[in-house]
Structure 1
Amino acid sequence: MSTVRDAAFDVLRSRGLTTVFCNPGSTEVPLLTDLPDDLRFVLALHEASVVGMATGWAIGTEAPALVVLHTTAGLGTAVGAIATARVNRAPLVILVGQQDRRHVALEPFLTGRLEGLAGDYPVWADQPARAQDVPGALARAWHEAVTARGPALVIVPMDDWRAPFDGEVLAAPARLLRPAAVPDADLAPLVQLLTGARSPAIVAGAGAAWDPLVALAERLRCPVFQESFGARAGFPQDHPQYAGVLPADRARLRERLAPHDVVLAVGAPVFRQYVYAPGPLVAPGTSVALVTDDPAEAHRSPADLAYLASPAAVCARLTTLLPTRTASAPRATAPGASPSGPDDAPLRGRPLRAAHVLSALASRLPADTVLVEETPSSRPDLHRLVPARTSLGFVSAAMGGLGFGVPAAVGLRMALPDRPVVAVVGDGAALYGLHALWSATHYRVGALFVVLANGRYAVMDRLADDQGGKAPWPPFTEVDVRGLARSLGCPARRVDSYDELTATLDEVVPNLAAREEPLLLDVTVAVDLDFQP
């Protein structure tokens, strides 16, 4: 007799959801025991790592990843990572276990009050009314995750898996097409705006498609900025028209965009900020247009003209409709070396700074490297020194919560086993996701983790300084990241000097693409509070 579990597995197979990211609990045992051989189980030691690894996998494969979480404890612990997946627009199908349906009304041990626990971060959530509706709910969750590019959640009581199934999957189409063509008549207002622009500019975000956007930028002969706090690079950062990352405060944003009378944001919000400052986002006389396939992004952006449409389709069509501008294309300043140069560290006896490490990486990393960033105090140096040469050349947590970098790098490398994967993380951020190193070691995931260890939350220290006060939190210089990594089975090395750094990178980087075990470098760096987000 076919069961709900059998039918659910068929749905998962048909949607390509054959890798299960999980930290199991008792309510998931009926689903996971004797898992079929064609379904791969990937264990992580903490739910934030489970979701973070799945997020990396989804970004790398550009397809939904499957997550299994354990009732209230699992879902509650994973909410922050689910929020990051939502803002990073990573499609996830999340199965959450629940107590036995037959006595859940009595709230037995491990009953979860699960509906709404993750807030509005799931793009869709459901607890099927009947066990027989579970396979259809999973199929719909896959569609919802793809369409809304975010986590879709299905709550399943543990006894549902053994219930008989009548052979009919309801509630989801077998095939869903998403036509992306944009009629020329609908594009006419944007064509008119850009044709009449004296000095246009583009802001590229994580939702942009590289090739069509490059063609459009070259047609317009305009500078292209990267959105601040983006989930990934929206434009090649070694392109001569690349103009850098937009500032994350209104005064500097207005100043940066003031020379431009038309600003077109593509796959990016208008505009991502950090610390509040008064005043408008752009100077008077600057018109802002937006192209995005994210409804929430379109609806909340204070743009003069917004398109809810495929950025790739819109950019491709605009390139044919717009005349080539006669102005000379701008020559943006290429990313450069550290202000004082990496070689001055050993020569002058100075300690390593983050810029020395990033400059050494930049000169060695292959062009196809997937670079995951979670080092807030060093992010400006990373943007300046390590240009993204592919769309995955910069991947970060757009939500801002810590704990993304290490597990995301593991998931990305699992999804892209032939590409070098490097995570550059601060020690404070690394401590939120180190559990994923066990998974990296166990599943032979050959990513490189470069931990910039200054023994403190440098961004928080800077913010406290800006308030003119003293931070109450102490440094945590006693923490030994290398020792923690080794306790999880991950090979790790301490790096204290520039010579050690370059020797290690020269040994490791050339073989990154073929590497079959992870490596963590615990790099001691000096505190550098002279940065602006």
Structure 2
Amino acid sequence: MRTVRDAAFDMLRRHGMTTVFANPGSTEVSLLADLPDDLDFVLALHEGSVVGTATGWAVARDEPAFVLLHTTAGLGNAVGALATARENRAPLVVVVGQQDRRHLAQRPFLTGRLEGLAGDYPVRVESPPRAQDVPGALGRAWHAARTDRGPALVVVPMDDWQQPADELPEAAPRALRQATAADPESVAAVAGLLDAAERPALVVGAGADHPATWRALTGLAERLGCPVWQESFGARAGFPQDHPRFAGHLPADRTRLRATLGRHDLVLVIGAPVLRQYPYEAGPLAPDGTRLAVVTDDPAEARNAPVELAVLAPLPAFCAALAHRVSARTARPAPECGAAPAVPVPAAGAPLRAAHVLAALAERLPADTVVVEETPSSRPDLHALLPARQPLGFLSAAMGGLGFAVPAAIGVRMGAPERPVVAVVGDGSSLYQIQGLWTAVHYGVGAVFVVLANGRYAVMDRLAEKHGGKAPWPAFEEISVRGLAEALGCPARRVGDHAALLRELDAVAATLPGRTEPLLLEVTVEPDPSFAP
């Protein structure tokens, strides 16, 4: 007898979802026991690590990853990571196990109230009315995750997998094609805005992180002779950050933002929100005389943009057409972003700062390295010293919550094993998903984790000072991230001075492309007293 489980596996194979990311529970055993040999199982030790690893994998491969979560506890533990997946535009198909359908009405142990638990972060949530509808629901979830670029959830009772499969075709298309051509009228409208502007500027974001979009935007910026800014708090780079037209990262407060944008009479935002901020400040985003427009493939970004023109379009095709449509003009002087700032070598015995570590990494990392960032107090230095030089060169958590970088770096390396992967993580950030290192060890994932250890939540300390108060939380200098990594089976070393740092990085750099073993370097750094969040 062909079962729902058999039909579901065929659906996964049809759509290339042959890797299962999970931390299983009892409601999923009937699906997983005797897993077919052509399906791979990846275990992580917490649901945040499960979803974070799958997110990195999906971003690296630009295709949906398959995730399995255990009823209320598993979905609840994963909600923050699912929110990050949504904001990072990572396509995930997420099956959430449920109690046996035959006695759900009596609300037995492990029954989950699942449909609204993840809030609005899933792009789709479906509870199939019959066991036989599960395979079709998986197909619809795959299409939703891929087209809407986020997690799509399917809730499946544990007894459904062994039920006989329906003989009728699944209620999901075998193929769903999206138009990828650019609408000529929309291209003409945006080109008209650019041609009418005397001092245009581009702002790019995570949605533009695609090889074809990078090529098109490079041509557009050169044709316009205009600066290109990266959105603040961007999860991915939308433009080559070593290009002469790259101007830097936009500030995250409105006063400085208005000063920056006031140099331009038109700002065209591409693949980013308009314009992401952190602290609230009164007043408009842009000063009078600066017009705003946005081109994005995210409907929410388009609907929420305070602009005079918003265009919803496939970015690679649209940007290529726009680059050919605008009028060429004499190039203005390149923006004053310039080369990375010089970082003096610390004196013998002087403490390391994050900038020393990042400058040393910048001198040694190959151009195709994926840098996964989660070091809030060192982010400005990282942006200044470690520019993204290729698509997928930079990855961060768009939601801002901690616990992303460790599992995401593992998933990126699994999904794109040809790319070197280095995670730069604060010690406080690393503790949120340190157990992800076990997955890297067990599956031979050669990512390198550089942990900047200052023994405190430096960003929170600075925020408390900014509010004129004393932080009630203690430092945690006694925690050994190296010790935790070693306890999870991950090779780890602690670095305390500049000479040792250079020796370690010289040894690691040559191994990055072909590594099959993870490594954690815990680098002791002093907090930067000049940092202001």
Q: Using the alignment, how far apart are the partners of 1:490 and 1:325 within structure 2?
A: 54
Equivalent pair of 2:27/2:99 in contact (CA under 8 Å):
yes
Give runs of aligned pairs for residues 80-95 of structure 1, distance below 5 A.
80-95=80-95
User: 1:167 aligns to what?
Assistant: 167
Q: Using the alignment, how far apart are the partners of 2:383 and 2:126 within structure 1?
A: 40
Confirm whether residue 457 of structure 1 aligns to residue 457 of structure 2. yes
Equivalent pair of 1:5/1:162 in contact (CA under 8 Å):
yes
Task: Name the amino acid aligned to 1:312.
Answer: P
Equivalent pair of 1:21/1:44 in contact (CA under 8 Å):
yes
User: 1:413 aligns to what?
Assistant: 413
Equivalent pair of 1:7/1:167 in contact (CA under 8 Å):
no
Give how far 1:331 is off: 4.2
Confirm whether residue 322 of structure 1 aligns to residue 323 of structure 2. no
Confirm whether residue 223 of structure 1 aligns to residue 227 of structure 2. yes
Equivalent pair of 2:187/2:325 in contact (CA under 8 Å):
no
User: What value does the CA root-mean-square deviation take over the aligned residues?
Assistant: 1.0
Q: Using the alignment, how far apart are the partners of 2:116 and 2:100 within structure 1?
A: 19
SS in 2 for 1:513: coil
User: 1:365 aligns to what?
Assistant: 365
User: 2:45 aligns to what?
Assistant: 45
SS in 2 for 1:192: helix
Q: Using the alignment, how far apart are the partners of 2:382 and 2:114 within structure 1?
A: 40
User: 2:306 aligns to what?
Assistant: 302
User: 1:7 aligns to what?
Assistant: 7
SS in 1 for 2:143: helix
User: 1:435 aligns to what?
Assistant: 435
**CA offsets 1:482-517 (integer angstroms, 9 cap, x no match):** 000000000000000001100000011111111110
User: 1:22 aligns to what?
Assistant: 22
Equivalent pair of 1:202/1:265 in contact (CA under 8 Å):
yes
Q: Using the alignment, how far apart are the partners of 1:69 and 1:280 within structure 2?
A: 43
Task: Name the amino acid aligned to 2:530.
Answer: D
Equivalent pair of 1:449/1:521 in contact (CA under 8 Å):
yes
Q: Using the alignment, how far apart are the partners of 1:391 and 1:465 within structure 2?
A: 38
SS in 2 for 1:207: helix
Task: Name the amino acid aligned to 1:152.
Answer: A
**CA offsets 1:265-307 (integer angstroms, 9 cap, x no match):** 0001000000111111001000011000100111011111100
SS in 1 for 2:414: helix
User: 1:404 aligns to what?
Assistant: 404
User: 1:32 aligns to what?
Assistant: 32
TM-aligned CA distance change 1:131 to 1:186, over 3 Å: same
Give the TM-score normalised by structure 2: 0.98
Give runs of aligned pairs for residues 175-254 of structure 1, distance below 5 A.
175-208=175-208, 209-254=213-258
Equivalent pair of 2:188/2:325 in contact (CA under 8 Å):
no
SS in 1 for 2:400: coil
Percent of residue pairs bearing the same amino acid type: 66
Give the TM-score normalised by structure 1: 0.98
SS in 2 for 1:72: helix
Q: Using the alignment, how far apart are the partners of 2:356 and 2:384 within structure 1?
A: 12
Equivalent pair of 1:346/1:499 in contact (CA under 8 Å):
no
User: 1:466 aligns to what?
Assistant: 466
* Aligned equivalent of 1:280, options 271, 280, 284: 284
Q: Using the alignment, how far apart are the partners of 2:456 and 2:169 within structure 1?
A: 52
Q: Using the alignment, how far apart are the partners of 2:417 and 2:315 within structure 1?
A: 28
Give structure 2 stretches of 5+ with no counterpart.
none
**CA offsets 1:180-219 (integer angstroms, 9 cap, x no match):** 2223223332121110111000001010121111111111
Q: Using the alignment, how far apart are the partners of 2:183 and 2:306 within structure 1?
A: 24
Which stretches of structure 1, 4 residues or more, deviate above 4 A after TM superposition?
Answer: none
Give structure 1 stretches of 5+ with no counterpart.
none
Give how far 1:231 is off: 1.0
User: 2:110 aligns to what?
Assistant: 110
TM-aligned CA distance change 1:532 to 1:304, over 3 Å: farther
